[in-house]
């Protein structure tokens, strides 16, 4: 008989956290609510890990459910921790009767808030990302480039829950902007070309004056970067691998450069990210724009003389409170920031990763417009 695989440490950790949530939130509630809550938490524990073991069934809700469970679990955990912290503080200030009321009322508030926020977060993640307009003032910008527009999409994460219909809607919204250039700043996919090519095919319909440019993100390297580089080229995008192109725009020049992901060398030494190499040979009079998936490329990009870096990767934290932890790894979380004389714009992402959840950090398609400083 084949031996049964023993549960992993992650299984026991997940079990312990679900038990913690159940004990802390359900104990003050009526018996009927305790039973119902225990069934919900137990069901969530059963479904939650299946997202990581996903085998696509072709049934959208069945494929989506484990990922929704992850988002619900996150909110339950966060609310339980915050409630316990609040109760620990309130215990020093309230009378026993008032404290008992707070224990009961805060438990009700948590079990009501978690599903409501999960539903709201699901809607905000699954909608077509709204357009965010950003004006970037460039010192010495040639008059011919006044109003030059770049449509940026980033971190779409086509994969287990983001499919062709989502991509088609993004493409239609980008094309409606009639941009001068389209930039895809990495983490486009979560899966192989063999599985996902039908779902990324609508990207071939992207339209702009100067074309579509793509740089790899870390998830491309998890998914077979070399195959995806070939596939993006087949779809009509110019893949920039530590190099650049110089565009002529009504007599003015724009250098569009791109680097491989900041951590690409861990997968392929030949793909070590190198902004200086990407800038080599750029004409001195050209406005220099760098596509770099991770904001961490910014210091090297500034030293290489770029005017603007476009990045993604962070998702802006994707949903509260995780945006507060992004700065532990990245110099910028979201939005337009300055580093020396260079501007850095970090997209919050056009899709999402993992749980279909956005809350406090909405998705975006970005229209960046160059203006004279």
Compute the average pLDDT of residues 114-125: 95
Against a cut of 0.85, is the pTM above it? yes
Please give the pLDDT value at position 85.
95
Q: What is the dihedral of CA 364, 365, 370, 371, to 10 degrees?
A: -50
Distance of CA 331 to the CA centre of its chain: 16
User: Is 1 a domain residue?
Assistant: no
For residues 165 and 196, the answer to whether their CB atoms sit within 8 Å is: no
Instruction: State how many domains the chain has.
Output: 2
The string of pLDDT tens digits covering residues 282-329 is 999 999 999 999 999 999 999 999 999 999 999 999 988 888 889 898
Q: Is there a single domain that holds both residue 218 and residue 310?
A: yes
Structure tokens at 180: 């001068």
Please indicate, yes or no, whether residues 234 and 351 belong to a single structural domain of this protein. yes
> Edge to edge, what strands does the sheet with 149-153 contain?
131-138, 365-372, 149-153, 181-184, 212-214, 237-239
Q: Is residue 156 domain-shared with residue 117, that is, in the same domain?
A: no
CA-CA distance, 255 to 247, in Å (whole number)?
6
352 and 312 share one domain = yes
pLDDT confidence bin for 3, thresholds 50/70/90: low
196 pLDDT above the threshold of 50: yes
Q: Are residues 178 and 325 in the same domain?
A: yes
Q: Which domain holds residue 34?
A: 9-126
Who wins on pLDDT, 7 or 17? 17
The C-alpha atoms of residue 326 and residue 313 are separated, in whole angstroms, by 10
Contact 128, 170 (CB under 8 A): yes
Q: Does any domain span residue 3?
A: no
310 within some domain: yes
- 258 within some domain: yes
Residues 89-118: what's their mean pLDDT?
92
Residues 56-83: tens digit of each pLDDT: 545 556 778 888 988 999 999 999 999 9
Q: The CATH number of the domain where 249 resides is what?
A: 3.60.21.10
Span of 9-13, 130-134, 256-260, 276-280 with lowest mean pLDDT:
9-13
Per the domain annotation, does 239 fall within a domain? Answer: yes
Same domain, 291 and 164: yes
DSSP type of residue 127: S
Looking at residue 5, its pLDDT comes to 67
Pairing mode, strands 131-138 and 365-372: parallel
For residues 252 and 338, membership in a common domain is answered with: yes
Q: What does the pLDDT look like over 318-333, one tens digit per residue?
A: 988 888 889 898 999 9
- Strand positions, DSSP E, the chain: 131-138, 149-153, 181-184, 212-214, 237-239, 243-249, 252-258, 287-291, 308-311, 335-339, 342-346, 365-372
Q: Mean pLDDT over residues 348-363, rounded?
A: 94
**Quick one: pLDDT band at residue 1, thresholds 50, 70, 90?**
very low
Same domain for 209 and 117? no
Give whole-number Cα distances, 99 to 34, 78, 106, 110, 127, in Å.
20, 21, 10, 16, 41
280 & 297 share domain: yes
């Amino acid at each position: 008989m084949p031996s049964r695989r023993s549960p992993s440490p992650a299984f026991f950790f997940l079990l312990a956290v679900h038990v913690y949530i159940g004990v802390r939130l359900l104990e003050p509630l009526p018996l009927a609510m305790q039973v119902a809550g225990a069934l919900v938490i137990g069901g969530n524990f059963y479904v939650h890990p299946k997202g990581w073991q996903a085998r696509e069934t072709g049934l959208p809700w069945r494929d989506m459910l484990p990922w929704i469970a992850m988002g619900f679990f996150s909110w339950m955990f966060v609310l339980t921790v915050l409630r316990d912290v609040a109760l620990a503080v309130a215990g020093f200030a309230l009378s026993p009767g008032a404290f008992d009321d707070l224990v009961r009322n805060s438990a009700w508030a948590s079990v009501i808030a978690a599903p409501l926020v999960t539903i709201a977060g699901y809607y905000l993640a699954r909608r077509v990302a709204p357009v965010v307009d950003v004006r970037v003032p460039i010192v010495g910008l040639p008059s011919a480039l006044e109003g030059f527009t770049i449509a940026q999409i980033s971190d779409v994460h086509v994969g287990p829950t983001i499919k062709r219909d989502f991509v088609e809607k993004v493409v239609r919204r980008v094309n409606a902007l009639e941009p001068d250039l389209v930039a895809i700043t990495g983490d486009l996919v979560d899966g192989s070309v063999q599985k996902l090519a039908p779902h990324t095919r609508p990207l071939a319909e992207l339209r702009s004056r100067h074309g579509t440019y793509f740089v790899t993100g870390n998830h491309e390297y998890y998914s077979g970067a070399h195959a995806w580089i070939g596939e993006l080229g087949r779809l009509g995008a110019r893949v920039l691998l530590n190099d650049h192109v110089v565009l002529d725009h009504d007599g003015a020049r724009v250098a569009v450069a791109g680097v491989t992901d900041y951590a690409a060398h861990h997968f392929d030494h030949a793909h070590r990210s190198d902004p200086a190499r990407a800038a080599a040979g750029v004409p001195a009079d050209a406005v220099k724009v760098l596509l770099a998936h991770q904001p961490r490329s910014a210091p090297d990009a500034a030293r290489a003389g770029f005017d603007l870096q476009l990045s993604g990767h962070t998702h802006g934290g994707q949903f509260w409170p995780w945006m507060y932890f992004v700065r532990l790894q990245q110099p910028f979380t979201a939005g337009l920031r300055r580093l020396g004389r260079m501007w850095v714009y970090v997209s919050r992402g056009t899709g999402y990763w993992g749980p279909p959840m956005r809350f406090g950090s909405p998705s975006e398609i970005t229209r960046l417009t160059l203006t004279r400083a």
